[in-house]
Structure 1
Amino acid sequence: MKPLTQLLFTLLVAAVATPLFAQADTDILFTVDGKEVTAGEFKYIYAKSNQEEADFSKASVMEYLDLYERFKLKVARAHDMGLDTVADLQRELEGYRRQLADNYIVDRQVTDKLVEELYEHQKKDVEFSHIFFAFKGNPTPEDTLALYRKVADLKPSVTAGNFGVMAKEYSDDKYSKDKGGRIGFVSAPLPRGLYALERALYGAKTGQVIGPVQTQGGYHLAIKHSERKAYGEMEVGHILVRKQEGATNTGVPAKITEAQAKLKAGEDFGKVAKDYSEDSQSKDNAGYLGYFGINFYDPAFEAAAFSLSRDGQVSDVVETKAGYHLIRRISRKPQLSLDEVRPTLEAKVKADPRFTQAKRTLLKRTRAEAKLEEDAAAFRAFTTSLDPVKFASARWQPEEVTNNAVLYKMQGGQTATVADFQQYLLRNNRQRISLARNQGATPTTVATKLYNDWIDEELVRYAESRLELDYPEFAALMREYREGILLFEATKMEVWDKASEDTVGLLAFYEANRGDYNWKPRAEVTRYTVDTKSGVDVNEVMTMAKNSAPAKVQYRFGKDKVTTETDRYEYDRLDQMENLKPEVGSVSVMKNDLREGVATFYKVEKLLPTAPKKLDEARGYVIADYQDELERRWVAELRDAYPVKINKKVLNKIIR
């Protein structure tokens, strides 16, 4: 890949892969025709392009500085060529921006934060109890407020000392009520709809009563008893001797003790499991249970398994409700880095209501930042003018607006009118019709629902319009795309197309550099293909081929049974032909394809010395070198046309 294209793609990949740091380093490193390049911009591009080799040594920095200067010179030329005004390129850039902006706001402000938070939560298991106050039926806002006040009034009387008693009296959670509200240890994420409780618990102090915390089902008062390093997941096998129904507790069964003795004597766990285990589903597979996390098996089983410190270790006898176990640790999943688990965590947060909740929070904050002003009276006037029958019809069309009232205003001049909203309704015909057909729906209720959705979209549009202002890294990313597109087009026109289309210049370049394009020593090789299904003896063909010309061999055995193909290959290609040697008369090993019914072998007919390549034979190499030459000439012209001024003091600060 040429240095130019290499730089272009490095810039684009680097910009997408990693967000820019805040550009605090605003010293001007160099200018191209008066246009400034900061030290921060250069250091970022240098570090990302060179990755682990970015040592900021003088030699390395100077080499890359020359490369980046050339990049900026070509961008300057692209601007003078007017390429930044070409409609197709503007559309391409806008397509890039839309693609990035569609996900940038949500990913940066919602997804990334939720993923990072969940990753931190998953480092710990939390032990807690709660008192749950359930919503009754489908609560109204008044019902929700009343229940909140009830819980808030009760909270001062709930302490760590009496929490269990209060839970038995007040909790609506049938699972934990009789246990004093105790849930035990949990790991993140908590089940769907419990994100608020998860966040409150992981942020609480041990022994602290927290709440009221609202979740989908109601309100919680909770207390965190303890936290520990997350157990994660363990892979185990076990040997089980079940408890006999109705039998009195007579201690550890002899059968499990005998199995334990076998293991201590060195007998294979899988064999002992097969001979002794009473778990019919796992005994024939070395007792294998697979991976599990907390709250999957009996707490005693879980505690014993996660106390095993090394792979292959076997526990003492463990008693559970099911019986008596010997547990063998197979492996334990390590704590992975955030980058390693990010895709999995992203899927989890996006499938959880926390994602929708976080997006709503983002829109609420954007609404405030945009200083959204809505004209409720104008919206009411519009909805009351709607004909119920027409508005519910698939044939509804926007009415001609005589007074095109402004429905909202945002900071920065973003506004929208009744006519704009009607176009939104028209684009969302299916949703409008679906809502209008609901029982009790009116034009006002349908329009209000769609209006709220529209405002959400407009808030996102507002946020997207400010991305360059609010996020320096996004502005830098768009600069990389913009300059990359301009660079590509300018180079294509000034170098690549010329090298391919300038036949006179290409020929002149070839003639001036003819000595650079030579064949290495070659061999003239014939490939023989024999139809073995025809009854021809392949060995006879090979024997004759060693001392005869291909045409003579074909004449002897028949062209329909033996085909030949002769070509010339440089010596380094001969190894690929069944270890053919660069010697006249050398014959390769025969390759017999029984399925296809053919056998092939190669023979060296003669050796050819080093020779010049014709232009057609070297065209690809000549064009590539001619491109390099044209680029060198172009860069020299650009340096004359666009002065480059380097601030050596700033440069010296960059070099380590």
Structure 2
Amino acid sequence: MKKISLLLFCLFAVGLITAQQSQDVLLTIDGKPVYAKEFKRVFSKNLSIIEEDEKQDVDEYLDLFIDYKLKVIEAEDLKLDTLPTFTGEYNIYKKQLARKFINQSEVSSQLLEEAYDRLQQEVNASHILFNLAADASPEDTLKVYEQALKVRNEILASDKDFSSFAKKYSEDPSARQNGGDLGWFGVFNMVYPFESGAYETEVGEISMPVRSKFGYHLVKVNDKRKNEGEVTVAHIMIESGKDDEAAKEQIEKLYTQLQEGAQFEDLAKQYSDDKNTAVNGGKLNTFKRGRLNSEKFEDAAFSLSGEGEISKPIQSKYGWHIIKLLKKDAVGTFEQEKFILERNIKKDSRAQLIASEVLAKIKSTYNLKEDDSDLSYFKKNIEKNITAEPWEDRELTSIPQKDLISIKQEGKTYADFAKYVASRQKQSTKFKNTNDALEAWYEDFKDGFYREYHREHLEEVDQEYAHVIEEYKNGLLLFDLMEKKVWNAAKEDSIALQNYYQKHQSDFVSSPKIEGVIASASNKSLLKKARKALKKNELEEVKENFEEVIFNSGEFGINDSSLPENFKVKEGVSKIYQNNGTYVVVKVNEVEKAETLTFEESKGQVISAYQNELEDRWIASLRAKHKVDVNKATLAKLKKEFE
């Protein structure tokens, strides 16, 4: 039976997570049950990754599955799962995988789809800012909100431009000059609440007050347009200076030279007044619309469609330009943009929405018990104002020796919370008194415990995570076990290797080779003539008469990619084949037959073959060591299901 790689074996690793008593038992090993559901899952997974012509039936997979289970038992009997090398790598992966599974949420999927939708458009907007601290009191928040609402109503009732109100009311310092104009922007260019306010407001409308970390905003949407992606261009620039006519005349001369065949990069290096880009042939960094502070230049750049296309001379506030398109990238498909969008979401304030949803889901999963939810012990025994003067947890006396919060049999003690308060108290605080600080920090303390408990018990509540982590764990164990029992044993026993080679010399032979000439050409009729010449004349003479034909001479293995498929190895000049898009003729001067390799020449093959023999013997010993009983009725059901 054909061996399947260790990677395939690792796919057999699964956890017995659910209520297995209600499942069909496929087999027992030393009286311990192995369930059909486990085999069914890995058999289905393997079928999806193996080539059709390599697929095996249920009986063959069952043999592999039993071998796998026996190896895992052996690894655990040898306590390989307690070695520091194993536990270190396993725990690192477990943490990384848990983080990935925990952060999956409906909100993250929704945000990803929303971000991709917004990626299709850019918005031009203006705003009026009403400053408000992120931690402002409810009273102050309401006051600023009502002020923003009042200004909005005033704007709607007036026929004056939005910019005049921005100059009058906005607490954004730049509004005095730009009237609140923010220009064009796209997804992730603004803080998320502001971005949402802009994208969700129709062109010409003014949003209701939008709250961000800076305060409240009134957002006026001036226009929206399709996102054209980004371009990479080069340019030649002639500054206008005091003599615009001379600059125009110069740029037109350069444009004429380009039309006559001059190289764009050479002219840019020689004549462009943008010295920062001239040294690179005029190349600018890739940009999107709205990034260059020159709408005329951007319009000209984005109007170019084919790579290498050159614009007519255009004038911007910087001077006269000729622009060459080097590359244009439109917005990609969802799958193409997904990775970058996910990365931006993680860096954005959107991540807080995902974290909030994940935490809410975790809280709904477990029953948290609180011994003193009002924190009466701490409020009574902390005599200092911890928001204003130093305090340490050792100042507490008669602290209860029990859990303050717990889930099942695990918890955090009163002393744990006291230490937590001391660590938070050393940070700057926004609270007015001790009780307010304690209550806020207690909520954070509980949230942290929820997350920690969920991470450590994720296997109990997330079956998919349990399967994946079990796969990885058993994969590591199998690697260590195979290294110990097979791979290193074969490599290090030089006498055994020599003996194996002596017994199986006929298995280790060289590949047949040919010595000759391979002639190739794109023109079949030309190669026909060269083929006739190869039959009659020496190679050097043929080369002189057929300069358009490529000749390669030397030794070639029969599997060499230069030789055509299905090439018939025999001395003489072959027929014409097609290979790699060209026509090929092979002249075989000599066929070197396969020869027995020396031990040194075949050592790698010998090691591999001996490892297979060692593994077969070892598996046989494991089969003899353990009692395996297969439930024929359950196996028959599985076979019928997979027919």
1:220 corresponds, among 197, 200, 217, to 217
Equivalent position amino acid for 1:187 in 2: G
Q: Matches of residues 471-482 of structure 1 in structure 2 within 5 Å?
A: 471-482=462-473
1:311 has 2:307 as partner = yes
Equivalent position amino acid for 1:129 in 2: A
Name the counterpart of 1:288: 283
CA distance in 1, matches of 2:365, 2:253: 72
SS at match of 2:95: helix
CA distance in 2, matches of 1:188, 1:212: 20
Aligned length, in residue pairs: 537
SS at match of 1:253: helix
Q: What displacement does 1:313 show?
A: 0.7
Q: What displacement does 1:147 show?
A: 1.8
Q: Matches of residues 142-291 of structure 1 in structure 2 within 5 Å?
A: 142-152=139-149, 165-166=161-162, 168-170=164-166, 172=170, 173=172, 175=174, 181-191=180-190, 194-202=191-199, 209-224=206-221, 227-245=224-242, 253-274=248-269, 276-291=271-286
CA distance in 2, matches of 1:209, 1:371: 46
Q: What displacement does 1:301 show?
A: 0.9
Q: What displacement does 1:302 show?
A: 0.8
Contact 2:236 2:282 in 1 (8 A): yes
1:325 has 2:312 as partner = no
Contact 2:11 2:42 in 1 (8 A): no
CA distance in 2, matches of 1:275, 1:490: 67
Equivalent position amino acid for 1:323 in 2: G
Per-residue CA distance 1:528-558 (angstroms, 9 max, x = gap): xxxxxxxxxxxxxxxxxxxxxxxxxxxxxxx
Per-residue CA distance 1:231-269 (angstroms, 9 max, x = gap): 333211112233345x7x979933323322222222222
Q: What displacement does 1:462 show?
A: 3.8
Contact 2:112 2:342 in 1 (8 A): no
Distance of aligned partners of 1:385 and 1:408 in 2 relative to their CA distance in 1, 3 Å threshold: same
Q: What displacement does 1:619 show?
A: 8.5
**TM-score, reference length from structure 2:** 0.65
Q: Which runs of 5+ in 2 are unaligned?
A: 511-556, 558-594
Q: What displacement does 1:486 show?
A: 5.8
Equivalent position amino acid for 1:35 in 2: V
Q: What displacement does 1:217 show?
A: 1.3
Percentage identity across paired residues of the two chains:
18
SS at match of 2:285: strand
CA distance in 2, matches of 1:164, 1:373: 60
CA distance in 1, matches of 2:149, 2:354: 25
Q: What displacement does 1:375 show?
A: 6.2
1:643 has 2:630 as partner = yes
Contact 2:132 2:216 in 1 (8 A): no
Name the counterpart of 2:7: 6
Equivalent position amino acid for 2:297 in 1: F
Contact 2:130 2:148 in 1 (8 A): no
CA distance in 1, matches of 2:201, 2:624: 66
Distance of aligned partners of 1:344 and 1:447 in 2 relative to their CA distance in 1, 3 Å threshold: same
**TM-score, reference length from structure 1:** 0.64
Contact 1:241 1:323 in 2 (8 A): yes
Distance of aligned partners of 1:296 and 1:93 in 2 relative to their CA distance in 1, 3 Å threshold: closer
Equivalent position amino acid for 2:186 in 1: S
Equivalent position amino acid for 2:504 in 1: D
Contact 2:103 2:354 in 1 (8 A): no
Equivalent position amino acid for 2:119 in 1: K
Name the counterpart of 2:613: 626
Q: Which moved more, 1:477-486 or 1:304-313?
A: 477-486
Distance of aligned partners of 1:649 and 1:400 in 2 relative to their CA distance in 1, 3 Å threshold: same
Q: Matches of residues 435-446 of structure 1 in structure 2 within 5 Å?
A: 435=427
Q: What displacement does 1:97 show?
A: 6.9
Q: What displacement does 1:329 show?
A: 0.8
Per-residue CA distance 1:552-579 (angstroms, 9 max, x = gap): xxxxxxxxxxxxxxxxxxxx9xxxxxxx
1:88 has 2:87 as partner = no
Contact 1:301 1:320 in 2 (8 A): yes
CA distance in 1, matches of 2:399, 2:314: 82
Name the counterpart of 2:584: none
Distance of aligned partners of 1:627 and 1:520 in 2 relative to their CA distance in 1, 3 Å threshold: closer
Q: Matches of residues 387-398 of structure 1 in structure 2 within 5 Å?
A: 388=384, 397=394
CA distance in 1, matches of 2:258, 2:448: 66
Q: What displacement does 1:322 show?
A: 1.8
CA distance in 2, matches of 1:402, 1:143: 39
Equivalent position amino acid for 2:265 in 1: G
CA distance in 2, matches of 1:233, 1:127: 16
Name the counterpart of 1:75: 69
Q: Which moved more, 1:122-131 or 1:230-239?
A: 122-131
Distance of aligned partners of 1:287 and 1:622 in 2 relative to their CA distance in 1, 3 Å threshold: closer
CA distance in 2, matches of 1:164, 1:637: 93
CA distance in 1, matches of 2:425, 2:614: 60
Per-residue CA distance 1:434-473 (angstroms, 9 max, x = gap): 339x899986676556544422311212432553455432
Distance of aligned partners of 1:372 and 1:238 in 2 relative to their CA distance in 1, 3 Å threshold: same
CA distance in 1, matches of 2:81, 2:417: 29
Contact 2:116 2:334 in 1 (8 A): no
Name the counterpart of 1:587: none
1:46 has 2:46 as partner = yes
CA distance in 2, matches of 1:76, 1:255: 83
CA distance in 2, matches of 1:49, 1:162: 67
CA distance in 2, matches of 1:398, 1:274: 74
Equivalent position amino acid for 1:142 in 2: E
SS at match of 1:282: helix
Per-residue CA distance 1:324-372 (angstroms, 9 max, x = gap): 2211111224656777766655654444444345434543554455465
Distance of aligned partners of 1:81 and 1:163 in 2 relative to their CA distance in 1, 3 Å threshold: farther
